Chain A
C-alpha cells in the first residue's frame, strides 16, 4: 500500500507529490486537472516491468499505435512526456507504508535501426510510393528503468512499423504490484468484468461481488456467467422467468460490479477507478461506499478513485467516520500555471468544509 507517490514530467505533471495516502484515496479536480493521468501514473508504477502498459493507457483514451506518425519520428508514447518534451524522462516513485521505495523511469530513445517494410504503414500490403523520403525513419524505442532498494532492471519497448517488440536487458526486476485500472465508461461489452467474475466464481470468492450488486438492485438473487453466441456474458437472476444480461440492469450496476470484482480480484493490490460515481444515483453512494470500503479494507486493497461529485465525497466521508482507524483521504488537483499541485485535506478540515458547504472539488 502506498504512503506517498511522486510523479515528475508525466503528461500534465511537471512535479507532483501525493502523500498521507490511506486505504481509500478520493481525488477531485476540475476537468483537465490530471485526475485520469494520476491514475495512469500509478498504474505504470505498479506494473513497472511491463512497457506495454504505456500503450494500453493510451488505448484506454482511444489512442492507438497507428495514430502516431512514425515517419516524422512520432512515437505513440510521446504524449506521456510533460509538454511533449521527450528529452526529459518521466519519473514515478512511490514509498509504501513500510517505508520501502520503488521507482520507474521512462526514457524516449531513438535507435539506429531500420523500421522494416515501408508498405506496412498503410496496412494494405502494398508499398506507399506516393511519398518517398530521402532517408528512412529511425526506429523508436521507450526504455523503462525500474528498481527498488533490492533490485533494478530495464526493458525496452521498440516500435517498428506497426509492431512493438520488447527487449529485456536485465531480468532482475522487482515483482509488479497487482493493480487494475477501471475506466470511467462502462459499456458492458467488454469481457474484463465477466472474466474476473468467472475467476472469482471458480475460486468461490464471488459472493461479495453479488452482495455489492444487490445494493443497487435489491431484486438480484444471483449472477452467473453463461455463453451467448459464442461469448461469455454475465447474467443476472432478478426473479424473472429468464436471466437477464447484466447490461440490461443499467450503468450503475455495471459500475458497482466493476469495482467490486476489481477489488476482489486483487487482494493486497491497488485498484484505480476513474469517475467512481459514474452512472450512480446519489442515493446509492453511501451503501456502495460502505460495501466497497469494507471489502477493500478486508482484502488489504488500496483504492484510488476520482470523482466530480460532492455527494459522492460526502457519502465516502460518512462511511469513513464509522471506522476506528483512518481510512479515507481526500485530495484535489489544482492546475496552477504550468503545473498541477495536489491539495490534501486532513479529516478536520474536510469535515468542517463539508459542514460549512464549502466547495472542495
Chain B
C-alpha cells in the first residue's frame, strides 16, 4: 500500500476524487509543474486531515505552499470560514482574505469554488465553461421535459446538467475528473479564471 507524503514544495488539497483528477489535468494545461494534489476526503474531514498532514515529517520539511480548494455549496462565506478554521486548528497561518495568500510558512491559499463569491461547486464552473455550446440547449430541454412530466428537479441542477452533457460524449458514463484531461472542458474559458489565478498564486 502506497501511503501519501508530499514530495513537492507545493500541495493542493481538494475535496474529493473528481477534483483530485481535474486539478492535475488543469495544471498540465497551465504548464505549472511541481504541484501535487491530494484529496482530504470530504468537507467535514478537512480539519482532522490537516492535523494529520501538518505533523508529517515530509510536510514539515518540503511543503512551502499549501492550497485548499472547497465547494461553496449554498454559502461561500461559511465555506471560507470553515476552511480558515480548520487551518487555524492545525496551527497553520491561513490567508486573511480571499485571493491573498497567507504569510506564514507554508504559504497558504484558499479557493471556494466556483469563484469565491457565488454559491456552487466545481460543476458550476464546468457548466459555465460550456456556455455557448449548442449541446447545452439539448441538456436544458431534457430537464424541462422531465419537469413537465412531473419529475422534481435534481437537488443540484448544475451537477445533473454536467453529467447529462457528459452522457452525450463518445465515452459516456465517465465522471468530470476522468474527462478533465481529454479536452472536454475548455480550460481557457473565463469560468475557470478564478481557479487559474489560484493555482498560479501558489
Partners in one complex: yes
Point out residues on A near B: beta carbons under 8 Å. 30, 310, 332, 334, 343, 345-346, 348-360
Q: List 27 A-B contacts (CB under 8 A).
A: A310-B1, A343-B55, A348-B48, A349-B51, A349-B55, A350-B52, A351-B48, A352-B41, A352-B49, A352-B51, A353-B52, A354-B52, A355-B45, A356-B4, A356-B38, A356-B39, A356-B45, A356-B49, A357-B1, A358-B5, A358-B53, A358-B56, A359-B5, A359-B56, A359-B58, A360-B3, A360-B55
Residue B57 lies at the interface, judged by CB distance under 8 Å to chain A: yes
**In the complex, chain B residues whose CB is within 8 Å of the CB of A310:** 1, 3
Residue pair B52, A360 in contact (C-beta under 8 Å): yes
Q: A349–B86 Cα gap in the complex (Å)?
A: 12
Partner of B48, one of A30, A332, A349: A349
**In the complex, chain A residues whose CB is within 8 Å of the CB of B141:** none
**In the complex, chain A residues whose CB is within 8 Å of the CB of B3:** 310, 357-360
Interface residues of B in 34-70 (CB under 8 A from A): 38-41, 45, 47-49, 51-53, 55-58, 60
Q: Evaluate whether A345 and B55 lie within 8 angstroms (CB atoms) in the complex, with A352-B49, A358-B5 already known.
A: yes
Distance between B141 CB and nearest chain A CB, rounded to angstroms? 42
Residue pair B57, A357 in contact (C-beta under 8 Å): no
Q: A130–B39 Cα gap in the complex (Å)?
A: 71
Partner of A348, one of B5, B39, B51: B51
Which residue on A lies nearest to B52, using beta carbons? A353
**In the complex, chain A residues whose CB is within 8 Å of the CB of B38:** 356
Q: A350–B52 Cα gap in the complex (Å)?
A: 6
Q: A310–B3 Cα gap in the complex (Å)?
A: 9
Which residue on A lies nearest to B5, using beta carbons? A359
Taking each of B38, B40, B56, B60, which has the highest tally of chain A beta carbons within 10 Å of its own beta carbon?
B56
Residue pair A359, B4 in contact (C-beta under 8 Å): yes
Residue pair B53, A355 in contact (C-beta under 8 Å): no
Distance between A281 CB and nearest chain B CB, rounded to angstroms? 16
Q: Evaluate whether A345 and B52 lie within 8 angstroms (CB atoms) in the complex, with A359-B4, A359-B5 already known.
A: yes
Distance between B45 CB and nearest chain A CB, rounded to angstroms? 6
**In the complex, chain B residues whose CB is within 8 Å of the CB of A343:** 55, 57
**In the complex, chain B residues whose CB is within 8 Å of the CB of A360:** 3, 52, 55-56
Residue pair B53, A353 in contact (C-beta under 8 Å): yes
Given A349-B52, A356-B45, 19 further pairs, Cβ under 8 A: A334-B57, A334-B60, A343-B55, A343-B57, A345-B52, A345-B55, A349-B51, A350-B52, A352-B41, A352-B47, A352-B51, A353-B51, A353-B53, A353-B55, A356-B4, A356-B39, A356-B41, A356-B52, A358-B56
Q: Evaluate whether A356 and B40 lie within 8 angstroms (CB atoms) in the complex, with A348-B48, A349-B52, A351-B48 already known.
A: yes
Q: A326–B51 Cα gap in the complex (Å)?
A: 18
Going nearest first, the 9 A-B pairs with the smallest beta carbon separation are A353-B52, A352-B48, A349-B51, A359-B5, A359-B3, A349-B52, A348-B48, A352-B52, A352-B49
Interface residues of B in 1-19 (CB under 8 A from A): 1-5
**In the complex, chain A residues whose CB is within 8 Å of the CB of B41:** 352, 355-356
**In the complex, chain A residues whose CB is within 8 Å of the CB of B45:** 352, 355-356
**In the complex, chain B residues whose CB is within 8 Å of the CB of A358:** 3-5, 49, 52-53, 56
Q: A345–B59 Cα gap in the complex (Å)?
A: 14
Residue pair A346, B51 in contact (C-beta under 8 Å): yes
Taking each of A346, A348, A353, A356, which has the highest tally of chain B beta carbons within 10 Å of its own beta carbon?
A356
Distance between A1 CB and nearest chain B CB, rounded to angstroms? 24
Which residue on B lies nearest to A355, using beta carbons? B41
Q: A148–B38 Cα gap in the complex (Å)?
A: 49
Q: A202–B39 Cα gap in the complex (Å)?
A: 56
Distance between A358 CB and nearest chain B CB, rounded to angstroms? 5
Distance between A345 CB and nearest chain B CB, rounded to angstroms? 6
Distance between A315 CB and nearest chain B CB, rounded to angstroms? 14
Q: A353–B39 Cα gap in the complex (Å)?
A: 12
